[in-house]
C-alpha cells in the first residue's frame, strides 16, 4: 500500500513527530516518482538544498527541480533567483503550467508554510493545485495527474490547522512505530466512499528505497482491542431470555383463552346434551342475610 | 340584522344595507373585486406550486427534503423560507448524500436549483445525483429490499395478538411522482435528460474569485459576499421574491451550499479559535436567512462543525439556523465494532426544529435515531437498542 501511495493522486500528508521523522520517507517517495519518469518539483523551506539532495544518486538529482526557499525566504538578497511571491507564488505558478504529464510536487514542509502563511490561503492554493487534473483547461487537452505530498509535523500545530489540512487530504500517512521499527498508518479517503485504514511496517534503506516489511503484528484495524471481548448484552441476566426445546413445544401446544378454534366452535354449536355443565354450590355463611322474599313487596306505590 | 334596526334613521346606509342583505340572502358583507364564484377566474385561488404542500399543523408551505423519513422527523417537511443546516460527519460521506437527495428532489419537482461549492464544480455535483424511483419498477425494487430485510422470526403468524394480523400494513412505500417526497436509488445516477430539463445555477468559488488575489485580512469574507450577491441576483431576476410580476407559475428556489465554513471558502473558523473573521459566518447566515424569508426559497447548508474550534460559534450558528440535523458516522470510531450498533452506519441527531409562527415546535418523541445506507436506500430508523 505504501508504494502505491502516489497512484491515487491528490494531496498526501505525511504526519511525523519527533520520535518518528518523516523526511526519509518523503525522500524515498520522491525518489520513486523520479524513477517513474515523472517531473518532480521540490519546494525546500525547512532544510537546505545540500541536505535534501544528500543520499540521492546523480541521475535522480538531475531530475529534481528544486525551488530553494531556505536560504533566502523573503528574497532579501534580490538576486532574482528566487521566484516572486515566495513559496505561494511558486505553487500558483505550478497551477498554471502548460506542459502535460504527471507531476509530483513535494513540499518540505507544510508546517513551515502553515507558520508563515494564513491557513485559508494555503488550503485554497493546495486545493487548486491538487485538483488540476479534474478541471482541465479550456482547450480540452488532458493534463496529467498531480501528486502533492509534504511533511506535517504534528506537534507544531493545534487541532485547527491539522483538521483543516486533513479534511483536504486524499491520503494521510501517520508515522509511528514500536521497538525501533517504523510503521505508517495510511488513511485513504476516496470521494464518496468509505475511508480505508491500513498499517504498514517499513524501513528506509540508506539509498532511500522503501523496504516493506511484515511488522511484529499486522493490524488492519488499530481500534479493535483483542483483550476486551465484544459486549454481549444478553449474558448474565437474572431472568431467562431463551426457551429450551421442551418449553417451546409446551408453549406452542397451549390453547389461548380467546382463540376461537374449531373445537370451541363445534362445542358451542352442538346442542347441549345436559345443562349441568357447570354448577355453583353455595353454602350460606353465618353472617349472610339471605331472604327469599322480594324486598320490594312492602313498598306501596 | 341588528345593524339594520339601529340605523333605521340613516336612510342611505340602511337602504344599502337592506339592499345587499336582500341580494345575497346570507350575509351583508360583499366581496370586493372579482366574484369568487365566477367561472372566468383571473388566477388560481390557492397558490399551488408543484412539490409543496401546506403543513397540517400550522399551515406553513412545506417542501420535501428528498428523504421521506427525514420529512416525517421534521414535522412533515421543510418550511419554505427556512435553512436546513446539516452538521457533517467526519468524512463527509453521508452529509453529501443528504445534500444530493435534496437537489434531486428539486429536479424531480421542477424547482430551480442554485448549487454553491468551494471544492467541487456544481456541474459535477449535479452529475452525481441519485436516480429517482418513479412508477412501477420502483415498487418492485422496494418490496424486494423490504423482503431481504425481514428476519425469519417476523414471518411467524401472531399467536396472541392475532386480531392485528387483519390490520393493513403501515409501510411507507414509494408514491407516484405527483405526490410529496420521492424515493431515490443511491446506486444509480440521475438520467442526463432530467438534468438538462431542469434549471440550475452554479456558484463555484475558485471561478468567481481569482486565485491571484492579494492576501488581505478583509478578504476572508470575500467569498461570502460574492455568494450572497449571487443569491440575491438570482432571487431578484427570476422573481422568487415577487418583485417581477410573474405571469408564469410560481416556483421554489432550492439553494444548496456545500462545506460552508471550511477553509476553502476563505474562512478561518476551522483553523483558529479566535480568528479575524470569527463573525463572518454568523453574519452570512443572518443575511442569508433574511433573503430566504422574503422569497420562495429554501436552503440546505452542510457545515463541517467537527472542525470548528470555538464551541461558542457552533451555538451561534445553531441559533441562526432553523433546522439543525447532526450526523455522526461510526467509521473509524470505537462504535463500529460495538454489537449494539451493528445495524447502523451512524446516528442522526435532530438538534433543533424551528417554531415558525407557533409557540411550540413539532418535536418528535424519539431522540435516538440511527441511519443506515443500504446499497440503494438511505433509511433512518429508531435505534431499537436504546428503547
Query: Is B96 in Cβ contact with A160 (below 8 Å)?
Result: no
Chain B CB within 8 Å of residue A233 CB:
yes
Our count of domains for chain B comes to 1
Q: Is residue A295 part of a domain?
A: no
A-chain residues within 8 Å CB-CB of B336? 223
Residue of B nearest to A120 (CA): B263
A229 to chain B nearest CA, in Å?
A: 10
Q: Residue B67's domain is classified under what CATH number?
A: 3.40.50.300
B275 to chain A nearest CA, in Å?
A: 11
Q: Is residue B90 part of a domain?
A: yes
Q: Is residue A222 part of a domain?
A: no
Nearest CB to A124; choose among B121, B266, B332: B266
pLDDT at position B38: 42
Determine the residue among A95, A124, A132 to mutate to test chain B binding: the one whose Cβ has the most chain B Cβ atoms within 10 Å. Answer: A124
Chain B CB within 8 Å of residue A118 CB:
yes
Q: Is residue B41 part of a domain?
A: no
Q: Which residue has the higher pLDDT, A10 or B384?
A: A10
pLDDT value at A59 more than 50: yes
Please report the ipTM that was assigned to this predicted complex: 0.74
Query: Is B119 in Cβ contact with A92 (below 8 Å)?
Result: no
Our count of domains for chain A comes to 1
Q: Is residue B211 part of a domain?
A: yes
Q: Which domain holds residue B104?
A: 60-134+179-382
Q: Is residue B3 part of a domain?
A: no
Chain B CB within 8 Å of residue A222 CB:
no
Instruction: Name the pLDDT band for A193 (thresholds 50, 70, 90).
Output: confident
pLDDT at position B387: 46
- Give the pLDDT of chain B (387 residues) as one tens digit per residue: 444 444 444 444 444 444 444 444 567 776 665 544 444 444 444 557 888 888 887 788 899 999 988 888 888 889 999 999 999 998 889 999 999 999 999 999 989 999 999 988 999 999 999 998 876 555 555 555 555 554 444 445 666 666 666 655 444 444 444 578 888 888 889 999 999 999 999 999 888 876 555 545 554 478 898 899 999 999 988 888 877 665 567 889 999 999 999 989 888 888 888 777 778 899 999 999 999 999 999 999 999 999 998 889 999 999 999 999 999 988 877 777 777 788 888 889 988 888 887 777 767 666 778 888 887 788 888 776 554
Nearest CB to B159; choose among A125, A128, A256: A256
Q: Is residue B303 part of a domain?
A: yes
Chain A CB within 8 Å of residue B221 CB:
no
Q: Residue A36's domain is classified under what CATH number?
A: 3.40.50.300
Chain B CB within 8 Å of residue A171 CB:
no
Backbone angles phi, psi at A51, to 5 degrees: -70, -35
Query: Is B264 in Cβ contact with A123 (below 8 Å)?
Result: yes
* Secondary structure of chain A as H, E, C letters: CCCCHHHHCEEEEEEECCCCCCHHHHHHHHHHHHHCCCEEEEEECCCCHHHHHCCCCHHHHHHEEEEECCCCCCCCCCCCCCCCCHHHHHHHHHHCCCCCCCEEEEEECHHHHHHHCCHHHHHHHHHHHHCCCCCCCCCCCCCCCEEEEEEEEHHHCCHHHHHHHHHHCCEEEEEEEECCEEEEEEEECCCCCCCEEEEEEEEECCCCCEEEECCCCCCCCCCCCCCCCCCCCCCCCCCCCCCCHHHHHHHHHCCCCCCCCHHHHHHHHCCCCCCCCCCCCCCCCCCCCCCCCCCCCCCCC
Give the Cα separation of A89 and A97 in Å (integer): 13
Query: Is B91 in Cβ contact with A194 (below 8 Å)?
Result: yes
Instruction: Name the pLDDT band for A211 (thresholds 50, 70, 90).
Output: confident
User: Global pTM?
Assistant: 0.75
Q: Which domain holds residue A37?
A: 16-132+143-169
B211 to chain A nearest CA, in Å?
A: 7
Q: Is residue B325 part of a domain?
A: yes
Q: Is residue B293 part of a domain?
A: yes
Query: Is A125 in Cβ contact with B263 (below 8 Å)?
Result: no
Q: Is residue A228 part of a domain?
A: no
Q: Is residue B6 part of a domain?
A: no
A242 to chain B nearest CA, in Å?
A: 14
Amino acid at each position: 500500500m505504501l508504494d502505491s501511495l502516489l497512484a491515487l493522486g491528490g494531496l498526501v500528508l505525511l504526519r511525523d513527530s519527533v520520535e518518528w521523522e518523516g523526511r526519509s520517507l518523503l525522500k524515498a517517495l520522491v525518489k520513486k516518482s523520479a524513477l517513474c519518469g515523472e517531473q518532480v518539483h521540490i519546494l525546500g523551506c525547512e532544510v537546505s538544498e545540500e541536505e535534501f539532495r544528500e543520499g540521492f544518486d546523480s541521475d535522480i538529482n538531475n531530475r529534481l527541480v528544486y525551488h530553494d526557499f531556505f536560504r533566502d525566504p523573503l528574497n532579501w538578497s534580490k538576486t532574482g533567483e528566487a521566484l516572486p511571491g515566495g513559496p505561494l507564488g511558486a505553487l500558483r505558478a505550478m497551477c498554471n503550467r502548460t506542459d502535460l504529464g504527471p507531476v509530483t510536487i513535494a513540499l518540505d514542509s507544510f508546517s513551515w508554510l502553515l507558520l508563515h502563511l494564513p491557513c485559508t490561503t494555503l488550503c485554497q492554493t493546495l486545493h487548486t493545485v491538487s485538483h488540476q487534473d479534474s478541471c482541465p483547461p479550456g482547450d480540452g487537452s488532458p493534463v496529467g495527474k498531480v501528486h502533492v505530498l509534504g511533511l506535517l509535523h504534528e506537534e507544531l500545530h493545534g487541532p485547527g490547522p491539522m483538521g483543516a489540512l486533513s479534511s483536504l487530504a486524499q491520503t494521510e500517512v501517520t508515522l509511528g512505530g514500536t521497538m525501533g521499527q517504523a510503521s505508517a498508518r495510511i488513511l485513504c479517503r476516496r470521494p464518496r466512499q468509505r475511508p480505508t485504514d491500513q498499517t504498514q511496517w517499513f524501513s528506509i534503506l540508506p539509498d532511500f528505497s522503501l523496504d516493506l516489511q511484515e511488522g511484529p503484528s499486522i493490524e488492519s484495524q488499530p481500534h479493535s482491542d483483542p483483550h476486551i471481548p465484544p459486549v454481549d448484552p444478553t449474558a448474565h441476566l437474572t431472568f431467562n431470555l431463551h426457551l429450551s426445546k421442551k418449553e417451546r413445544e409446551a408453549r406452542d401446544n397451549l390453547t389461548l383463552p380467546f382463540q376461537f378454534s374449531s373445537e370451541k366452535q363445534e362445542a358451542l354449536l352442538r346442542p347441549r346434551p345436559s345443562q349441568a355443565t357447570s354448577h355453583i354450590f353455595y353454602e350460606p355463611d353465618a353472617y349472610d342475610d339471605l331472604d327469599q322474599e322480594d324486598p320490594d313487596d312492602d313498598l306501596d306505590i | 340584522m341588528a345593524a339594520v334596526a339601529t340605523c333605521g334613521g340613516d336612510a342611505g346606509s340602511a337602504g344599502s344595507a337592506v339592499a345587499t342583505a336582500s341580494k345575497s340572502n346570507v350575509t351583508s358583507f360583499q366581496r370586493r373585486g372579482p366574484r369568487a364564484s365566477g367561472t372566468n377566474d383571473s388566477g388560481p385561488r390557492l397558490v399551488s406550486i408543484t412539490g409543496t404542500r401546506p403543513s397540517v399543523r400550522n399551515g406553513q408551505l412545506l417542501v420535501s427534503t428528498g428523504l421521506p423519513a427525514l420529512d416525517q422527523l421534521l414535522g412533515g417537511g421543510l418550511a419554505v423560507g427556512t435553512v436546513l443546516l446539516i452538521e457533517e460527519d467526519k468524512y463527509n460521506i453521508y452529509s453529501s448524500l443528504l445534500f444530493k437527495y435534496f437537489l434531486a428532489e428539486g429536479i424531480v419537482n421542477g424547482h430551480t436549483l442554485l448549487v454553491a461549492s468551494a471544492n467541487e464544480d456544481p456541474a459535477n455535483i449535479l452529475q452525481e445525483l441519485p436516480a429517482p424511483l418513479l412508477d412501477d419498477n420502483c415498487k418492485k425494487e422496494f418490496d424486494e429490499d423490504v423482503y431481504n430485510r425481514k428476519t425469519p422470526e417476523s414471518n411467524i403468524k401472531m399467536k396472541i395478538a392475532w386480531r392485528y394480523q387483519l390490520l393493513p400494513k403501515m409501510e411507507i412505500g414509494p408514491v407516484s411522482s405527483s405526490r410529496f417526497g420521492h424515493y431515490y436509488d443511491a446506486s444509480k445516477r440521475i438520467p442526463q435528460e432530467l438534468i438538462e430539463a431542469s434549471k440550475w445555477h452554479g456558484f463555484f468559488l475558485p471561478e468567481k474569485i481569482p486565485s491571484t488575489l492579494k492576501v488581505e485580512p478583509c478578504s476572508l469574507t470575500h467569498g461570502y459576499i460574492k455568494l450572497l450577491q449571487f443569491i440575491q441576483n438570482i432571487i431578484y431576476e427570476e422573481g422568487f421574491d415577487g418583485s417581477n410580476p410573474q405571469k408564469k407559475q410560481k416556483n421554489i428556489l432550492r439553494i444548496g451550499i456545500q462545506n460552508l465554513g471550511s477553509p476553502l471558502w476563505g474562512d478561518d473558523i476551522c483553523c483558529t479559535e479566535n480568528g479575524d473573521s470569527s463573525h463572518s459566518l454568523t453574519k452570512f447566515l443572518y443575511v442569508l436567512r433574511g433573503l430566504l424569508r422574503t422569497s420562495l426559497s429554501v436552503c440546505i447548508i452542510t457545515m463541517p462543525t467537527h472542525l470548528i474550534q470555538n464551541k461558542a460559534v457552533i451555538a451561534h450558528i445553531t441559533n441562526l439556523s432553523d433546522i439543525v440535523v447532526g450526523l455522526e458516522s461510526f467509521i473509524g470510531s470505537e462504535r463500529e465494532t460495538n454489537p449494539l450498533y451493528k445495524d447502523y452506519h451512524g446516528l442522526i441527531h435532530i438538534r433543533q426544529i424551528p417554531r415558525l409562527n407557533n409557540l411550540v415546535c413539532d418535536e418528535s418523541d424519539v431522540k435516538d435515531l440511527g441511519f443506515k445506507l443500504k446499497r440503494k436506500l438511505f433509511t433512518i430508523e429508531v435505534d431499537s437498542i436504546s428503547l
